[in-house]
Structure 1
């Protein structure tokens, strides 16, 4: 079989790379370990697929070298992503914070589009293909793989590794890209789960668990970042968009701060209430901004049954701190099973930022999540996958 390139991994990056190569008249073969291409695309956004974000900038990515992203994002912009999908009748609709979702379509339609385009261009997708050895001799790459019990071999002058990261191993995620990079002597930045729920244990475990299912709009921060979105209490700790976001900047042993009323000042609200109706109970005032269950739970820390007029200066300070600087020290995170992406990965210093080709080995390219590039929640990681797939395709 004659092919211009072999792409290992038929996720967002690999599929976009194959389609863009097709536009250029290049023939590629995709090897996918799973039973179907685009498995993680299918579960993204609860099956709705938040496929890009209108606000994408390099600053919204965690990487040792943010400047590395500039070239790829200039070659394939958010507008290019929108235009690409619109060409095939997938219109985008902004939900919140720049997040773009398909209108009246979903993740299945996006995967179907890529499969259709690959078929139209004659790009082959081999599923259930477990890659074993890779040999590089002269200007050829030889990939040995096992498919449905049969040993097979492919050869091509270019090789693309787009196998993703470590999250959701039950869906087939592996450390293939990281192992191969290390085998070649490439630097790999320390990896960890990112965009992942955080766990609470010890003396506070029962209190958090009692609030399971309650959501609060809050600002969550540490000394590295700050996010203002919902937090969700769970039976094992904290989740929700703001928690997932801060988790990418959090390390075990660190404390995070939660401002439970980011767009108000509790002290000012109490002062105003004192002037209007001093007999109002603190619990009554709190219930205007929080659910009854959450308000009652805060009784562990606050004098809810005091009237606002009777609150002392010390109580006011305690209330202000508990509402605006609620400190939490998570015990850990829910791991790769629940993480949306991986932090860390193959060092960007090993690749050309313009082509994503390995500096050490010509004809070898890495794209998508396996690199040390981790985006925020909300379509950022998809934009990186599409962009890196496009960039690599231009070189095949």
Structure 2
């Protein structure tokens, strides 16, 4: 008998097993992949942005972001730093509070956990899939499929840290959501998040012509704005600012791009007029964009008109276009290109301090399976560590 069986050896599951082991508990960690931490290993291009120094509940999308308070009070960013530093991992801040291991190797993060699991004698089963979870009396029965065939395990507590729907090739599935539904729990509708957006129809060719061009921009809608790079692609838009806004985007909605967030186009035109206005619009904006971008903007703007000859209506069009470029995306690139899943097990069903299902004692949910979705930049890892720690304290 184990104190708990943990399904999924991702960030949340690994932290949960490690912290439970450090408390003297005995757990079994079940992972369908051939090695633990598969998603950790590919995160940040193999470098792993493992937390963000500026983490707060404002950096998360959820029907109830305040649910995070209980976990974040138990496990803070400082706790994450101290935990990894005590195991030889020192962080380097790259940008916007994003922390990476100084070695730039995600495998070093995973190694911290495998070492703790070994030292605390936790068990791990790899290449093993949990097919079903059933409640039988005071216990749970887990039907598993391993290389040895099917078998049934019995335990008093089950932790579902099996992630969400991105990325299928890493074994992603909706298993945690199916189990939650089976036990009558509510699910907030799910969708890809932190995901590139696609453009179709008459505008598609224009975006495709700019493929490979990156621009520092402010991407915004009525809810929120992000200032980071955007990247034009042959199918639409990507880059950090686009991934960020995608978590707040729904099909059919518009959003806007300020292509010159650090300048005022109105002021630049006014200044140019005082100097005689001999330059064309193309010459005026050339320092801020690639030639290809300037040429492409010619579809919308009178780029060959001299500033002195520009009418008030044309000047207004220039300001509106460059500071409030309207985008109507057709869709997104789906779960296999998404960093995370939006939605999941409703926080209304869980006790904030322990992540235990209110109606099913002994059943816990953490990490990406829960309706908590962080911004790009290490926030989702901080949630995974915090929820894994919180659950471990209750085992």
Alignment TM-score > 0.5, same fold = yes
**Cα deviation, residue 3, structure 1:** 1.3
Conserved 8 A contact 1:199-1:332? yes
Taking the aligned partners of 2:297 and 2:93, their CA distance within structure 1 comes to 35
Give 3-state SS (helix, strand or coil) of 1:394's partner.
helix
Work out the CA distance in 1 between the residues paired with 2:92 and 2:52: 10
The equivalences for 1:149-298 within 5 A come to: 149-298=148-297
Q: Secondary structure at the match of 1:345?
A: strand
Unaligned runs of at least 5 residues, structure 2: none
- Distance in 2, Cα, partners of 1:185 & 1:53: 35
SS of 2:302's equivalent?
A: coil
- 2-side partners of 1:241 and 1:307: how far apart? 35
Q: CA deviation at 1:152?
A: 2.5
Q: Which runs of 5+ in 1 are unaligned?
A: none
Report the Cα offset of residue 277 of structure 1: 4.8
Residue 149 of structure 1 and its aligned partner are, at CA, apart by 4.5
Q: Which SS does the other structure have where 2:337 is aligned?
A: coil
The alpha carbon displacement at 1:68 in A equals 0.6
Please give the alpha-carbon distance, in whole angstroms, between the structure 2 residues aligned to 1:137 and 1:124.
23
Q: Which residue in 2 is equivalent to 1:135?
A: 134
Which stretch of structure 1 is more off in the superposition, 142-151 or 159-168?
A: 142-151
Partner of 1:394: 393
Answering whether residue 43 of structure 2 is matched by residue 48 of structure 1, we say no
Query: CA–CA distance in 2 between the matches of 1:358 and 1:265?
Result: 52
Contact 1:195 1:377 survives alignment (8 Å): yes
Give TM-score scaled by structure 1 length: 0.98
Structure 2 Cα separation of the partners of residues 150 and 233 of structure 1 = 48
| CA deviation profile, 1:177-230 (whole Å, cap 9, x unmatched) | 000000110000100110000000000100000101101111111112111111
- Tell me the distance in 2 between the aligned counterparts of 1:367 and 1:343: 14
**Partner residue of 1:104?**
103
Instruction: Describe the superposition over 1:128-152 as per-residue Cα deviations: whole angstroms up to 9, x where unpaired.
Output: 1111222222322221101114122
1: distance between equivalents of 2:157 and 2:276?
75
Structure 2 CA distance, aligned partners of 1:173 and 1:325? 37
1:274, distance to aligned residue in structure 2 (A)? 2.2
CA distance in 1, matches of 2:169, 2:319: 44
CA distance in 1, matches of 2:319, 2:24: 63
Who is 1:24 aligned against?
23
* Farther off after superposition, 193-202 or 298-307: 298-307
Q: For residue 365 of structure 1, what is the aligned residue in structure 2?
A: 364
Alignment check: 8 A CA contact 1:90 1:105 kept: no
In structure 1, distance between residues paired with 2:79 and 2:276: 57
Please give the per-residue CA displacement for 1:219-262, whole angstroms capped at 9, x wherever unaligned.
11111211111100000000001100000000000001111011
Secondary structure at 1:59's aligned position in 2?
helix
In structure 2, C-alpha distance between the alignment counterparts of 1:86 and 1:311, rounded to whole Å: 60
C-alpha RMSD of matched pairs (Å): 1.0
* CA deviation map 1:106-125 (0-9, x unaligned): 11111122112111111111
* CA distance in structure 1 between the partners assigned to 2:152 and 2:75 by the alignment: 33
SS in 2 for 1:283: helix
1:385 aligns with 2:380: no
Checking the alignment, whether the CA contact within 8 Å between 2:48 and 2:104 is kept in structure 1 is no
- The alpha carbon displacement at 1:358 in A equals 0.7
- SS at structure 2 position matched to 1:213: coil
User: Structure 1 residue 105: deviation in Å?
Assistant: 3.5
Matched residue pairs, number?
Answer: 395
- TM-score under structure 2 normalisation? 0.98
SS of alignment partner, residue 20 of structure 1? helix
